[in-house]
Amino acid sequence: MRELADYRAEFPILEHTTYLINHSLGAMPADAEQRVLDYAQTWKTRGIRAWAEGWWDLPLTVGDQIGRIVGAPPGTTTMHQNVTIAEALILSCFRFDGDRRRIVYEEGNFPSVRYLYQAQAERGAEIVVVPEGESLVKAIDERTLLVPTTHVLFKTGEIQDVEAVAERARAVGAHVVLDAYQSAGTVPLDVTALGVSFAVGGSVKWLCGGPGAGWLYVRPDLVERLEPSLTGWQAHARPFGFEPEMEYAQGAARFLTGTPNVSALYAATAGYDLIEEVGVERIRARSVEQTALLVEQFDDAGFDLTGPRDPVRRGGTVTVRTPAFEAVHQELAAREILCDFRPDVGLRLGPHFFTTDDELRFAVEQITEIVGSGVEERATPTAARF
């Protein structure tokens, strides 16, 4: 087994940057560059033959690799552009004109997800928004059709009790749509054991796979019977028959749409390979050590932690409020220390398995120094971006 420190060589940005922003854009593995070149080479030399030599099936073969990371059996996971599209595919399988037409979700869902579900009011859905936690479980009843919920909240990095949500939904016959974007690749997840109807995520963050490679898991029994109305020729039983009427393919292929995002899928697997090789359990064990070290250091420095203190509830990100945190963020970036901030929680720091303890101590030292040297006077207003 390779030492975690060995993997630093796989991520070129670490040579000159303290990279603590893996909850936003995970560091790029060097091999991703090679895979993009392989894609171009294949396009250049194989031309049209590339479709039959793997390109056409990429949304399914790459989906199966994601499946191995999130506990989904082969043939249940497909690749799409992003989470928004994956959730729209799910929504397109349902109508909102019966007694069961409620969509119940927690406030802390990612905005894109919220916007999409809110828009279903136009289609007759009754939208119920509640605070996170117990209130969500309580709000799910026989009128509930869908429960879009997040495994790890994007703002605070808090791990939610998705088992309780899944159990309640199962008891009343509602479908859970689990957004695992902030967990896949850092917090262990087994969609089969959870029994959720659907799970979605992307590759930009902890999976280090870059943009354009969102994923959708559909529980095996639902894969066979749902018929998404957001559909296209890749979802047809015989796409190359070019038939005038739709006949859905068997299996996960029925959740596909049109021509796949081939270049993004080439790039993404370099990150997945590393995550599979290291293993999410090992990444989580290291992440718990790293976030505990950050919490200890921030406590010593006297800053306010805004995310969970309990390590069981803490995902891969630590959030902390310092004075003038927008300006602190800016000055950190000038020192090649990358993190981000969100207006109501302050700085967000997301180390990954390749981050050293020295880097974490260095980042906290620099934050303390920037705050202590009068950042508030130097601060000019900035808005959160990325």
Residues in contact with ligand PLP by the rule CB under 6 A: 82-84, 110, 112-113, 150, 154, 179, 181-182, 202, 214
Q: Tokens standing for 38?
A: 């392989």
Nearer to ligand PLP among residue 113 and residue 253 (C-beta): 113
Closest to ligand PLP by CB, 101 vs 329, is 329
User: Could you tell me the smallest distance in angstroms from the CB atom of residue 81 to ligand PLP?
Assistant: 8
Nearer to ligand PLP, 23 or 286 (CB): 23
Within 13 A of 231's CA, how many CA atoms are on the CB side?
20
Nearest to residue 65, comparing CAs of 222, 276, 249?
276
> Which C-beta is closer to ligand PLP: that of 155 or that of 254?
155
Give the shortest CB-83-to-ligand PLP separation in angstroms.
Answer: 3
Cβ closest to ligand PLP, residue 110 vs residue 325: 110
Closer Cβ to ligand PLP, 236 or 314, answer by number: 314
Runs of H (alpha helix) within 175-235: 191-194, 220-223
Residue nearer to ligand PLP on the CB measure, 67 or 350 = 350
d(CA 89, CA 218): 11
How near is the Cβ of 344 to ligand PLP at its closest, in Å?
Answer: 15
If the CB atoms of residues 76 and 82 are measured against ligand PLP, the closer one turns out to be: 82
Length of the chain as a residue count: 386
Report the relative pairing of strands 318-321 and 304-305 from DSSP bridges.
Answer: antiparallel
Q: Which of 13, 26, 9, 31 is nearest to 316 (CA)?
A: 26
Is residue 317 a contact partner of residue 348, using CB atoms and an 8 Å limit? yes
109 contact partners, CB below 8 Å, separation of at least 6: 117, 148, 149, 150, 179
- What does the alpha-carbon distance between residue 57 and residue 235 come to, in Å, rounded to a whole number? 12
Q: At its nearest, how many Å lie between ligand PLP and the CB of residue 378?
A: 30
CB of 385 to ligand PLP, least distance (A): 13
State the minimum distance, in angstroms, from the CB of residue 354 to ligand PLP: 21
Q: How far is the CB of 269 from ligand PLP (least distance, A)?
A: 18
Q: Taking a C-beta distance cutoff of 8 angstroms, is the pair 200, 180 a contact?
A: yes
- d(CA 106, CA 113) in angstroms, rounded, equals 11
- φ, ψ of residue 179 to 5 degrees: the values are -90, 105
Return d(Cα 216, Cα 39) in angstroms, integer.
23
CB atoms within 10 A of CB 357: 13
We find the least distance from the C-beta atom of residue 49 to ligand PLP, in angstroms, to be: 32
Least distance (Å) between residue 336 CB and ligand PLP: 23
User: Between residues 257 and 368, which has the closer beta carbon with respect to ligand PLP?
Assistant: 257
Cβ pair 34, 47 in contact under 8 A: no
φ, ψ of residue 300 to 5 degrees: the values are -60, -35
Instruction: Give the nearest residue (CB) to ligand PLP.
Output: 82
Least distance CB 347 / ligand PLP (angstroms): 16
Residue closer to ligand PLP (CB basis): 77 or 182: 182
Is residue 52 classed exposed, middle or buried when 0-12, 13-18 and 19+ CB atoms within 10 A define those classes? exposed
CA angle 358, 360, 365 (to 5 degrees): 90
Residues forming a β-bridge with 175: 146
